[in-house]
Amino acid sequence: MVRRLLVVFVLLLIAALGVTAYAQDAAPSVTVTADGQVVIGLAAALSGEGLAPFGEDIQRGAELALEDRPTVTVGGIEFPVSLDPQDDQCSAEGGQAIANRFVSDASVVAIVGPMCSSACRAAAPILDEAGYSSVSPSCTAPDLSTSEFSSFNRAVVSDAFQGRVAAQFIFDVLGLTSIATIHDGSAYGEGLVNVVTASFEALGGSVVAADAVNVGDTDFRGLLEDIVAAEPELIYFGGFAAEGARLVQQLKNDVDGGEIVFMGADGIKGGEFPGLAGADAEGVYTSSSIPSDANKEAVDALLARYTEKYGIEPTGPFQVNSYDATNMILDAIEAVGVVTDGTLTVDRAALSEYLRSIEGFEGLTGTLNCDGTGECSAADIGIDIYAADGSLSTVAVGSPGDDNSIVVTASEG
């Protein structure tokens, strides 16, 4: 019995080695035969507390993009495009697993995603090595574009910008000078909080308490007691809906923090957050990159199609970014693909180079210009506030100004 198991194990090992060897050989280019399909990988959190709605939203954004552009045309031949959606679990482990899965599948041309910065950070080195390219609609951690990942691109604004807008909004528009910060230990949450802290202190405000929570923990009351004791005027949270909702509920109900303003970012914008937090969501601020006004009609039309097709209102903030990311990849394939004898060949290095240097891509989020580091988007940041019924209304918009400055304009009313 033991010997038989051993034999099976050895066979599996050989098979695994074979697959790896095969994957490495297949790295430089992708070929699609005339009757084949162009496969685009999609990595987003499709399960998990407070995360799945964001992931589904991203998947739908890509699906809508493919509905508009079901084929890529190279050399006069149309190749159908299909999506391979996988769950990145919004975690480093998930990002790693998914990157390994995609690089072992030579038919995957490029990847939309991953969704969370932790997953992006873990996936990037693996994708780098295999020569793959990805365009994330939602990985906003600042350091992703400064870590020299060759595979990483994003169709969303870096938190280096979102965080600065948030800090300036708190200081200038809300007129608050002392805040506390909490993050969830994720690459996204920690990166965002670091930017907000640095920017807020640079503006002259003070961060009186800083703490972090573990994803999956439920009792943050002790932590909130400590934070409330430091008497901040606002708590800035970098993280996602499940922990965000618990923090807000416990802040308002269990500790003496009813007067303290709570603010988060795109991790708690839309999606499950208002449902999880219930009435306590009222008065919570969020932010996210927003499509430029020039595309308002096109965006509204897309969102209307979304509602019609899926039967629910779009929830998360990233479906439009995902739409753009998908189109960027399709553009890149059409630009660098070569057809010989009816077979499409896409050189991975050329694809990566093209994506990294896209100029003047007219997306729904705005005009995207990739600066060679993977940073492509320069959209505005909208700041919203939740009403008691969970609906959002925009209170301010932050846009890039001259000389690397930021202009935050409060909405009227």
Comparison of 226 and 362: residue with beta carbon closer to other proteins? 226
Question: Strand, helix or coil at 215?
Answer: coil
Question: Using the rule CB under 8 A, is 278 a contact of other proteins?
Answer: yes
Q: What CA–CA distance (Å, rounded) separates 361 from 325?
A: 11
Question: Which residues lie below 8 Å from residue 275, measured CB to CB, with a gap of 6+?
Answer: 390
Q: Cα dist. 332→22, 134, 345 in Å? A: 25, 12, 13
Minimum distance between the CB of residue 185 and other proteins, rounded to whole angstroms? Answer: 6
Of the candidate residues 92, 111, 144, 245, the single one contacting other proteins (CB under 8 A): 245
Q: What CA–CA distance (Å, rounded) separates 275 from 292?
A: 28
Q: Which stretch binds other proteins (CB under 8 A): 114-122, 142-150, 153-161, 274-282?
A: 274-282
Question: How many CB atoms lie under 10 A from the CB of residue 33?
Answer: 11
Minimum distance between the CB of residue 233 and other proteins, rounded to whole angstroms? Answer: 16
- Positions 353 through 392 that interact with other proteins (CB under 8 A): none
Backbone angles phi, psi at 265, to 5 degrees: -130, -145
Backbone angles phi, psi at 97, to 5 degrees: -60, -40
Question: Using the rule CB under 8 A, is 220 a contact of other proteins?
Answer: yes
Of the candidate residues 206, 218, 357, 393, the single one contacting other proteins (CB under 8 A): 218
- Positions 279 through 308 that interact with other proteins (CB under 8 A): 279
Question: Using the rule CB under 8 A, is 106 a contact of other proteins?
Answer: no
Question: Using the rule CB under 8 A, is 409 a contact of other proteins?
Answer: no
Could you tell me if 135 and 167 are in contact, meaning their C-beta atoms sit under 8 angstroms apart?
no
Q: Number of residues in contact with other proteins, rule: CB under 8 A?
A: 39
300-329 per-residue burial string, b: 16 or more CB within 10 A, e: under 16: eebbeebeeeeeeebbbbbbbbbbbbbbbb
Do the strands 77-87 and 108-112 form a parallel or antiparallel pair, or are they unpaired? unpaired
Q: Which stretch binds other proteins (CB under 8 A): 9-17, 249-257, 384-392, 393-401?
A: 249-257
Q: Output 394-400 pairs: Cβ under 8 A, ≥24 positions apart.
A: 394/290, 395/173, 395/285, 396/169, 396/173, 397/290, 398/161, 398/164, 398/165, 398/168, 398/169, 398/287, 400/161
- Positions 42 through 101 that interact with other proteins (CB under 8 A): 46-50, 52-53
Pick from 182, 170, 186, 161: which is nearest to 51 by CA?
186
Question: Using the rule CB under 8 A, is 18 a contact of other proteins?
Answer: no
Minimum distance between the CB of residue 221 and other proteins, rounded to whole angstroms? Answer: 4
Comparison of 221 and 305: residue with beta carbon closer to other proteins? 221
Comparison of 101 and 221: residue with beta carbon closer to other proteins? 221
Question: Using the rule CB under 8 A, is 216 a contact of other proteins?
Answer: yes
Minimum distance between the CB of residue 279 and other proteins, rounded to whole angstroms? Answer: 7
Q: Which stretch binds other proteins (CB under 8 A): 100-108, 240-248, 319-327, 361-369?
A: 240-248
Minimum distance between the CB of residue 146 and other proteins, rounded to whole angstroms? Answer: 25
Query: What is the enclosing helix (H) or strand (E) of 78?
Result: strand 77-87
Question: Using the rule CB under 8 A, is 185 a contact of other proteins?
Answer: yes
Minimum distance between the CB of residue 215 and other proteins, rounded to whole angstroms? Answer: 9
Question: Using the rule CB under 8 A, is 219 a contact of other proteins?
Answer: yes
**Chain centre to alpha carbon of residue 4:** 46
Minimum distance between the CB of residue 382 and other proteins, rounded to whole angstroms? Answer: 25
Minimum distance between the CB of residue 57 and other proteins, rounded to whole angstroms? Answer: 13
Phi-psi region at 271: left, alpha or beta (left = phi > 0; alpha = psi -120 to 50): left
Minimum distance between the CB of residue 179 and other proteins, rounded to whole angstroms? Answer: 16
Comparison of 36 and 275: residue with beta carbon closer to other proteins? 275
Backbone angles phi, psi at 266, to 5 degrees: -65, -20
Query: 319: which 2 tokens?
Result: 């479906």
Q: What CA–CA distance (Å, rounded) separates 79 from 303?
A: 27
Question: Using the rule CB under 8 A, is 126 a contact of other proteins?
Answer: no
Q: Cα dist. 404→142, 160, 161, 165, 341 in Å? A: 16, 12, 10, 12, 50
Q: Which stretch binds other proteins (CB under 8 A): 94-102, 212-220, 284-292, 381-389?
A: 212-220
Q: Which residues bind other proteins (CB under 8 A)?
A: 46-50, 52-53, 185, 210-214, 216-223, 225-226, 229-230, 241-242, 245-246, 249, 253-256, 272, 275-276, 278-279
